[in-house]
Chain A
Amino acid sequence: MKAFLFWSVFTLALLFGYSIETKILEDIQHISAIGYDYVDEHRMKGTAAAPFYPPGVDVQPLNAFFTGVGHNVLSILEKQQIQAQRKLATGRLQAFLISKELAKNGVDKLTDPLARSTAVGRDVHMAVVDGSAEELLTFTYPNAPTSAQYLSDFMEKTLKDIVPHPTTHAFLSQYDGFGQDPFLPILEKKEDHIRYKGLALFKDDQYAGALSNKDSYVFKLLYEKSKTGTYEIRFKNKKYISIENIRSKTEYKVSGSQDNPRVAIHVSMMGEVRDASSVVLKGDTLKEVEKEWSKEMTKRAEKIMKKFQELHVDPLGIGEKVRSHFRHFDKEAWKDHYPNVPVEFHMNVRIRNTGITE
């Protein structure tokens, strides 16, 4: 009895004698998407999209945006907070946008809180906005209730097939580490839609250049295993054939010595012809299409690689592959080597079928 009394008092005292700040779902406002624009050398403008869900059944969320200008992410968040009706929380952040102009000045101060915060997830999608991030976020799009929802759907469902997964983790890991430079998709607001424009290439934390939409398709094939994407090739007599990628694999082979490394990238692809108007695909023609496909891909890959080496950026992570090949790797010397390293491409393509007609 005495013990029971003791434990009851103990539990009650612990439960009611101590209060800790709680975060109750109904009492906070989640920031779903956040975007940063360039103001001047030291300041930036942050726009947070935090849709407000009014009480009731079957209500549509209200678009709500808060902007603030400051030196870093947290001081901007403070300024956004003093406009918001509820406590802003970043736990469900899904999209993180950086304007191109800001990216050109370096994104270092933006990424630190992403890595440090316990609240922000590691799979937040990041993107560069060509134009104003604020404009892209605050526009009312006709095809979604809130811009944040459109954006997060777009990044999660559409971009997934077009570019290698642009998450915070990938960005931070590429940015922090040796042997790879980060890259992010470029989005823009075109009329009343969001549109994917290409791939932004970073050198350290600064925007250094971009790949076009079509180039970024080849980039994905070179970068990782993929099961998506349609590629258009130009065939004889200005006929165009569209081939869908069923599955592709890529393999990097490093040879030579540490002072004189050579890299060969082997890509094997399997495709299906989806559109070939007025071309009969039989026997030899099919072989020719395969050859043409392989040739075009190699040409494009070589063009991309040349661009990377000219810009001194390494989004494919060739540095990392070469590092893992040689013991006692000299990281400083690699930086000078990189632009001159010969990179060969071997495209091994095969068309598996041609749909339900020949």
Chain B
Amino acid sequence: MLPLPPEKRQVSPFFVFYLITSAQIGMGILSLPRYIVKSAGQDAWIAIIITALSIHVILWMVYQILNKGTNDITVTHKELFGKWLGGLLSLALIVYLLLVAASTLRGYIEMIQVWIFPQLDTWYMALILSALVYVYVIGGFRVVVGICCLSFIFNFPLIVTLWFPLQDAQFSHLFPVFDHSAAEILSASKKMTLYFSGFETIFFFYPFIKNARSSQKWAQYGAAFTTFIYLAVTIISIMYFNKNQLIQTIWPTITLWKVVDFPFLERFEYLNLAIWLFNILPSTCLFIWAATRGIKQLFTVKQKHSLIVLLVIISVAAVLLKDREQIQQLNTMLSSVSFYVMYAYIPFVFFYQLIKSKVRKTL
């Protein structure tokens, strides 16, 4: 039996709200409208709602799994599937989280290379970002929660700036509603899953929440808030851009910020790109923290040591992704992986646990 974290390492349940939103909102939102409009056109917002509803159900499943267990997912895995198979599943989940972290990190570096410094070397930026992640994660879970909380405050003004593109928006772009077939909308929904990924980290930080059972409410609110942000960005992008233009624009959300014009600041998007660091940093920190925590539970390696190894691996992975095409490939791969994690793996564990406990009762 692995020990539970002491109370002084735990955080209040409502912090789960910040953890979920900052884990989910990362690089994805910058290119989100483009991918879903490609398949569902002006009905893309319906696809977001469909995915969001399913995410709420899956989040409920995640909590059911963890509530029945006694510690985090690694312990539950071991109880359900035995030492080896359970350990393998936990390891797969850790690798998945690391890949999401690597893709986030590389995505941010790419964005800086395209928008601000074309000459910037990937390794240089990866080094700086890894050092930042190290500083936060080494402080422990409570510090990671702190940066998640701060990022929420830093990023809130960015939502307000969506008002500027709204002035040039064309309402008619949203009509007619339901112009696309169910298959098209569902394929957009499928693409959406990667953008909602990140809440899987609950599997690892669950024991660190006080009265963890009661935190489900906050987790659901967090997912709902993410949905709201995604909806706002997508609907405004659809109204602001022409469909063809939106599909060709790589980062529609940043292009939206291009119209933001203050008397004291001509080009707002550059400031935004800098602020965006506080959007990718907490999610990367959270993913890496979850990975180190998982490794500690599996192999009893000190988090301090595994952290350095993981950061090196992630930086190397980021440097190895040379151009846009490779980044795109990683994202496409991750997109289908996260689809299976959410809609196959989590329900599988949920039902397996349910059946197993039923069987045990009847015996």
Give the interface of A toward B (CB within 8 A).
10, 14, 18, 20-21, 91-92, 115, 118, 121-123, 165, 169-170, 172-174, 176-178, 317, 320-321, 323-329
Contact = CB atoms under 8 A, between A and B. Distances in A.
Interface of B: 114-115, 117, 119-121, 124, 127-128, 131, 168, 170, 172-176, 178-179, 241-245, 248, 255, 258-259, 261, 266-267
Contacts of A328: 179
Contact of B168 (A10, A170, A176, A325): A170
A121 B266 contact: yes
Contact of B124 (A18, A170, A173): A18
Contacts of A176: 242, 244-245, 248
Given A123-B259, A177-B242, A329-B176, 17 more contacts: A14-B124, A20-B120, A21-B117, A21-B119, A91-B266, A91-B267, A118-B115, A121-B258, A122-B255, A122-B258, A122-B259, A176-B248, A177-B243, A178-B243, A323-B172, A324-B173, A325-B176
B128 A177 contact: no
Given A118-B115, A178-B244, A327-B178, A123 B172 contact: no
Contacts of A324: 172-176
B101 to A, nearest CB: 21
Nearest to A13: B127
A330 B119 CA distance: 46
21 contacts: A10-B131, A18-B124, A20-B119, A91-B266, A92-B266, A118-B114, A121-B266, A123-B258, A170-B168, A173-B241, A173-B242, A176-B242, A176-B244, A176-B245, A178-B243, A320-B170, A324-B173, A324-B174, A327-B178, A327-B179, A329-B179
A20 B131 CA distance: 20
Query: Most chain-B Cβ atoms within 10 A of its Cβ — which of A21, A123, A328?
Result: A123
Nearest to B266: A92
A177 B175 contact: no
B172 A321 contact: yes
Query: Most chain-B Cβ atoms within 10 A of its Cβ — which of A118, A176, A321, A325?
Result: A118
Nearest to B177: A327
A114 B185 CA distance: 32
A23 to B, nearest CB: 10
B46 to A, nearest CB: 14
Contact of A14 (B127, B241, B244, B267): B127
Contacts of B127: 14
A327 B119 CA distance: 48
B15 to A, nearest CB: 28
B266 A169 contact: no
A169 B170 CA distance: 13
A172 B244 contact: no
B244 A177 contact: yes
A327 B42 CA distance: 12
A20 B117 contact: yes
Contacts of B244: 176-178
A168 to B, nearest CB: 10
B119 to A, nearest CB: 6
Contacts of B170: 317, 320
Contacts of A20: 117, 119-120
A323 to B, nearest CB: 8
Contacts of B114: 118
B39 to A, nearest CB: 16
A20 B241 CA distance: 34
A290 B176 CA distance: 37
Contacts of A118: 114-115
Nearest to A120: B258
Contacts of B241: 173
B237 to A, nearest CB: 12
A170 to B, nearest CB: 7
A216 to B, nearest CB: 20
A172 B245 contact: yes
A173 B245 CA distance: 7
Contacts of A91: 266-267
A146 to B, nearest CB: 18
A65 to B, nearest CB: 23
A118 B255 CA distance: 9
A281 B316 CA distance: 81
A123 B121 CA distance: 31
